[in-house]
A and B are shown apart, each in its own frame.
Chain A
Amino acid sequence: MDALSQLYLPGAVPVWAALVFSLTALWGWSLVLRGDESARPFARRAYLFFTLSVLLVAAVLLLALWRRDFRIEYVFQYSGLDLPFHYQLAAFWAGQKGSFLIWLVWGALIGLGVIRTAGKRAEPAVMSLYTLTLIGLLFILVRENPFVMLAETPADGQGLNPLLQDDWMVIHPPIMFVGYALGAVPFAFAMAALWRRDYKDWAARAFPWALAGFLVLGCAILMGGYWAYKTLGWGGYWGWDPVENASLIPWIFGTVLIHGLYLERTKGRFRRANYVLATLVYLAVLYGTFLTRSGVLADFSVHSFVDLGISGWLVALMAVFFVLPVVLMATRLREVPTVRNEDPLLSRGAFLVVSTTTLVASALVITAGTSAPLLTRFLENPGQVGPSFYNRVNLPIALLVALLLAVVPFLTWRGEALGAVLRKLIWPAVAAAAVAGLAFALEVRDPLHLLLLALASLALLTNLQKTFRRAAAQGIGAAGGWLAHVGVGIMLIGFLVSSAYDASTKVTLEQGRPVQVGDLTLTFTRAIPRQGQEKERMEVEVVRDGGSTYFAYPKLFMNDRTRQVMANPHVRTFPLQDLYISPIEFDPGRPPGAPERVQLAAGETFEAGGATVRFDGFEVRSDEGSMAAMAALQRGGSITVAAKLEVDRGGATATVEPLYTFAAGGQVSAPPAALPGGGSVLVSGINANDGKVQLDLVGLPSQATGEPARLAIDVTEKPLIQLVWYGLYVVLFGGALSTWKRLRQSRRLDDEAAAA
């Protein structure tokens, strides 16, 4: 806790108020649970005030960011005077505290919807548990108050990390936290059902929430991948980084949960498993938060996370929400009525069991990989696993999932005969084999890759057929699930082809000179200086053999505040591939006649115009020694340093010592020293930190021509990468259709309850 005087009270007080109101709501619902129906409006109102307090906290922080109130440490750390407004908004969730706050804001608002959909009888139990999850988050903000003030008001903030000054940063994290917040809802429903021993209705009521969580988290993952691919220039959309995995694992568990809930709703199966699955979704959210926020992976992640001192609290939070469901399940799960598994092998039921098991295995393996630094902590050399691990273990998973998806449209609940299924599969299988044959003709030789391509195409086709049939019979609203499967087939093809068959070339382009790379002719035409908001860009003309010509504009620019060089790729989408051009290095060259500038550390040599120059170090020129010279400088005098150069030209060696005089007032004089054989050299700068000298060489024969500007780029062809995005769009659209359908069903429950 921070001393009161160090806190900005307009923001800090609502934080505490939120805690008081949330505890009050909890107390109110406990009264309702004990039969005091009159406490219900009281509890609801307390929850409403809790939500308003949280919104007030967020509003105060937003206002402080808008006013650029640098007294507040958080505002100082993440914003600056030069930051445009929409990036001030991004600064809201750029830090740990703000991102927990935005999570809490969504969580509180979602709670208002949970009250309305929980059903009158279940509401107090569901809301008690749900509020408990929010109190867990709120505690972090109480401990690490975002409104800590600095002793003095700085003139300017530290600014936002330039990597985060991106439009995706404005939209991606808040959506991610909506997904995280939604993860707690099915959990609260499931635990409340166990607690109240009312095992019947919760699945129907939690179903739309689970679907919404799947949908929103999927959108957030899509945006994150797109951000990484299009602007961050990571070269791909997915790097299996812990931060990315922290959103993927709950999403996979969420996928399993919606299938489990579907089974329970349609066939009454998975009644027990769904409690476990709902718990896994929420625990995965908490565990991912712990991994990425506690600093435990700081040495292993692209994103670095400094421990705020909350890792202990996050562990405690996980412990609570692990023990609670375990105790509830241990005592109640046996009572939950269940149906014995009598499904024949070729039935929807059996396939759902196998596919959910497969996905759980995938999620667990990804969890283990992400946790590698923790799991190997006690070994002599703890380590981590790279993308190769995830790709390898998920290949058999992808194969199995594709196979199951391909067959499932032809199955029924009661089971089918193998021959009948195979007969229906004939035509799609012929088409899928044709896809594999085409891939073989295009140099795909790995048998597993060919198999995956064939199975994914098969899944795409059979599910597409099913989608059309279902839509024709019952309307498109009933075909959401099948449509999502189509998307998975598309995505699998995109994943495989774009990652395993991309072709990358590095090339350095001299300005104005075309270079042939594969079937591309690349010409670096010019560097375009900054114009207003538009950053510095490079212009590269790209001519495709027998095809189109276009200009690519990869960006390579310096951030004004941090002086760090930022690179943004240029991506051009063609029907069958993306052409991804990343800038690596830009050398502005030297106009004819201009001095040649070079930086040398002691012992390094440099060659120019037939002369070899070696820098042998500095020597202070003073009759009384260097100490006396330093003292003279401090008294307001000057100091003279000679750069000792060994120049070798045409076999003749000479020592040249250009001087550099530095006066206390900051005046510098550096007269040129003649080089043997013509030309001269002068010291244009000294870097005292690393002992480097900067020399300007003038009048060398090589300078008459100058040197052209050069741009080093990486050119990568990413075949079929568009399918990853299209596939995910289809999955999410299918998910949206299902969400709508299940929401209507859940509403019907309320109507029935009202009628009864």
Chain B
Amino acid sequence: MTRKARKTAIYSAGSLLLVAFAGFSLASFRDALTPYVSYDEALGAGGRTVQVAGGLVAGSSDYDDETGILSFTLAEPEGSGTIRVDYEGLKPANFEEAISIVAIGHWSAGDAAFRADKLLVKCPSKYQGAEVKEYG
């Protein structure tokens, strides 16, 4: 192989690898994408991983010692729907105080509940405090 041909081969192989990696990333991206859906859509998503958001219904959370599952009810921000969520993980520290909770998981028809793999708790964060109360 001449030097030039060799170089072309190396560059083509490199480009091919990059294209392959880009394709792989894109496929992974599509697989991992969890769309934001309404509660009705979550019920119809057929086991696909999605995310739902809502406010915690006061007093609805319960931790089951036996199963280690935290169950609670979320209320849809717009509309009046509610959804039961089961979460088998550590309860986020600021769970009860959350302005809104995002649950990522899938609807499980057998349990009649949304099985969350992950919870995102929206709370006054490290960079932004709660809304200012009006004084005066």
By a beta-carbon cutoff of 8 Å, the part of chain A in contact with chain B is 73, 76-78, 94-96, 99, 150-152, 154, 158, 161-164, 169, 173, 232-233, 235, 292-293, 298-306, 308, 345, 354, 357, 361, 365, 368-369, 372, 376, 379-386, 388-389, 392-393, 396, 506-508, 562-567, 582, 584-585, 599, 601, 687, 689-690, 692, 710, 712, 714
Contacts and interface: CB of A to CB of B under 8 A. Distances in A.
A293 B127 CA distance: 8
B102 A235 contact: no
Contacts of A384: 33-34, 51
B96 interface: yes
A179 B59 CA distance: 44
17 contacts: A151-B135, A235-B90, A304-B99, A361-B18, A369-B32, A379-B35, A381-B35, A383-B33, A383-B35, A383-B50, A386-B49, A392-B32, A562-B97, A563-B97, A564-B94, A585-B63, A601-B59
Interface stretch (B20-28, B78-86, B107-115): B20-28
Contacts of A162: 94
Contacts of A386: 32, 34, 49, 104, 117-118
A388 B133 CA distance: 40
B99 to A, nearest CB: 7
Contacts of B128: 95-96, 304-306, 308
**Secondary structure of the A contact surface, majority rule:** mixed
Interface residues of B, number: 58
A164 B53 CA distance: 24
The 9 tightest CB contacts between A and B, nearest first, are A381-B35, A389-B32, A506-B68, A383-B35, A303-B125, A508-B65, A385-B32, A304-B122, A152-B136
A381 B41 contact: yes
B120 A301 contact: yes
B136 to A, nearest CB: 4
Interface of B: 10, 14, 18, 21, 24-25, 28-29, 31-37, 41, 49-51, 53, 57-59, 63, 65-66, 68, 88-91, 93-97, 99-100, 102, 104, 117-118, 120-133, 135-136
B34 to A, nearest CB: 5
Given A305-B125, A393-B24, A582 B90 contact: yes
Contacts of A154: 135
B35 A382 contact: yes
Contact of A299 (B31, B32, B36, B117): B36
Contacts of A169: 126
A369 B63 contact: no
Given A96-B128, A392-B32, A393-B28, A163 B94 contact: yes
B106 to A, nearest CB: 12
Given A564-B96, A712-B68, A158 B129 contact: yes
Given A73-B132, A381-B35, A567-B90, 9 more contacts: A77-B132, A308-B128, A384-B34, A384-B51, A385-B29, A385-B33, A386-B32, A567-B93, A690-B59
